[in-house]
Structure 1
């Protein structure tokens, strides 16, 4: 769930908490504090994912209003699309144990929408590959032109977001036929959330978004003689590129490690958050010679730990000043 969607979800949950306070004389102080600290998505994931029912769940059960529990709210509303099946099953387990007759939300009767777990297979790697296909013009798909939104590619080109996602998902599912009926494409959709998580802007048509072209990015104060390094740095910050490479590397190797010193940051630091130690670097040093229409491939990139990345850039700076 992207930040903007999470903010809307948080507002939705605050409104439900206010309803509980107003109608049940129940003060959801702890729940509101969690929302303020972590946001809606993280709060719901923590509460629903816990093995035992939360205090709030018990109080709502005692009041006969489990319809206001976060378990019911993710199962019975449109927000269901943002949560994976494992968490939804946990919500079902708790509600069944409390004899609450929940009904899963469905956008349309007989809908052919794919579940969230399937949509999430369109990782940043496949989304990046789909964007490159659209840039090359070598793509065939059953999606029409977008009427409301544009996805902004790294060179500023605009493409239909739903079509990009459909092609990405098809690649992720080994060429399965993906059609518009299989998922929604709007501001509250998982499709848009995954595209944004992959590093791309989605804007209303006619909106002049800030340029994502690496050539337009600031030069961080590098000296005139460091043009090679400046160009190199700009190329590395192309939209979606780093996330695509990391997703590919994890798919191929099972985890993120440094290709230079072999550091496994998750093992070294004991937390998944340590994946932030791995950065993406152009393995070719002559990036400045790339033309404006050059299309980088993921094989041109390396996953390096922050220390190795700094060292490589120091070597490049020495070369640039030679």
Structure 2
């Protein structure tokens, strides 16, 4: 687990520990200390791997709340994918020996059992289609190498890609969600489209336009950053065509997932820690480390690993250094801020 994931896991465990203290007299502070000293993932792994039952497990068994044991919590919650198959099998055997039959968590239902005749996925599952997965899905549609059960768009809307191509929004989202859920098959029955749907909200939050078929498309959202910017409107338009928000959001999302937080890859600056607010992430911008915007040829394909997350100061310095090394001006020199 990365740091952010482990923090979420710790909060989940401590919430359950409060309930365990109320129902079975489990020592909350002792459990919290265990998590702090060993790390949540390590502590839970050690408790489950024991051949015998911990004192906490026995107290919960006596109180008929086996569902609050770490063995049950891991198997019946979204955290099961973070533990090995062998460890989960050991946890299942321990539970079954005391007469408790655990219900394996499914990413498709968002819980241990569906408990409903509806095939719709809960919002918290849909939200796992983050900007990184949505951007990757769009690149698959751009390449033409994508298979899905959605067919052509069944709504009156289309998604506009960075290159201006139009794709069925529900199909794009379905593929993105499948990627986020490790290849689970996602079908039209699992979610809906439309203006108020989480599907459209998440696609737009990833930086894409989802518009009614036949509607005019805003090809320069936001307009130039300043009146009289020295590179002028044409270079701003060039930039906006090649540096749209989706790839920026996708890179930032990827960096958060891999590192637990967003910071400058060059100087290590952590804006959230410095300013004490999540909004400070706006200080981090996305830079093409491999190819300058001005040197990109038509049809240039960008990989997220070609990009860097830099603080605004480092980003400007890098472009200035690149401009000098080429004996001219970088298209983004002297000042530019990527859209968030």
For normalisation by structure 2, the TM-score amounts to 0.56
For residue 258 of structure 2, what is the aligned residue in structure 1? 252
Instruction: Establish whether residue 269 from structure 1 lines up as the match of residue 272 from structure 2.
Output: no
Cα deviation digits, residues 228-255 of structure 1 (max 9, x gap): x879844663240110000000000010
Residue correspondences, number: 211
Name the CA distance, whole Å, in 2 between partners of 1:274 and 1:250. Answer: 14
Name the CA distance, whole Å, in 2 between partners of 1:311 and 1:320. Answer: 15
- Residues 132, 253 of structure 2: 8 Å contact kept: yes
Name the CA distance, whole Å, in 1 between partners of 2:225 and 2:263. Answer: 29
Name the CA distance, whole Å, in 2 between partners of 1:263 and 1:232. Answer: 29
Q: For structure 1, which segment, 115-124 or 311-320, has the greater mean C-alpha deviation from structure 2 after superposition?
A: 311-320
For residue 193 of structure 1, what is the aligned residue in structure 2? 201
For residue 129 of structure 2, what is the aligned residue in structure 1? 122
- Residues 120, 194 of structure 1: 8 Å contact kept: yes
Instruction: Establish whether residue 145 from structure 1 lines up as the match of residue 152 from structure 2.
Output: yes
Counterparts of residues 190-229 of structure 1 (less than 5 Å):
190-211=198-219
Match for residue 314 of structure 2 among 295, 305, 308: 308
- Residues 196, 202 of structure 1: 8 Å contact kept: yes
Alpha-carbon distance, 1:258 to partner:
0.3
For residue 157 of structure 1, what is the aligned residue in structure 2? 165
For normalisation by structure 1, the TM-score amounts to 0.59
Alpha-carbon distance, 1:145 to partner:
1.1
- Residues 239, 293 of structure 2: 8 Å contact kept: no
Instruction: Establish whether residue 320 from structure 1 lines up as the match of residue 318 from structure 2.
Output: no
Name the CA distance, whole Å, in 2 between partners of 1:248 and 1:239. Answer: 14
- Residues 163, 241 of structure 2: 8 Å contact kept: no
Match for residue 143 of structure 2 among 120, 136, 145: 136
Instruction: Pick closer, same or farther for the CA change 1:321–1:154 going to 2, 3 Å.
Output: closer
Higher helix share: 1
Secondary structure of residue in 1 paired with 2:328: helix
Q: Which structure is richer in relative contact order (CA contacts within 8 A, separation 6 or more)?
A: 1
Instruction: Establish whether residue 295 from structure 1 lines up as the match of residue 323 from structure 2.
Output: no
Match for residue 287 of structure 2 among 276, 281, 285: 281
Instruction: Establish whether residue 172 from structure 1 lines up as the match of residue 180 from structure 2.
Output: yes
Alpha-carbon distance, 1:128 to partner:
0.3
Alpha-carbon distance, 1:175 to partner:
0.5
Larger Rg: 1 or 2?
Answer: 2
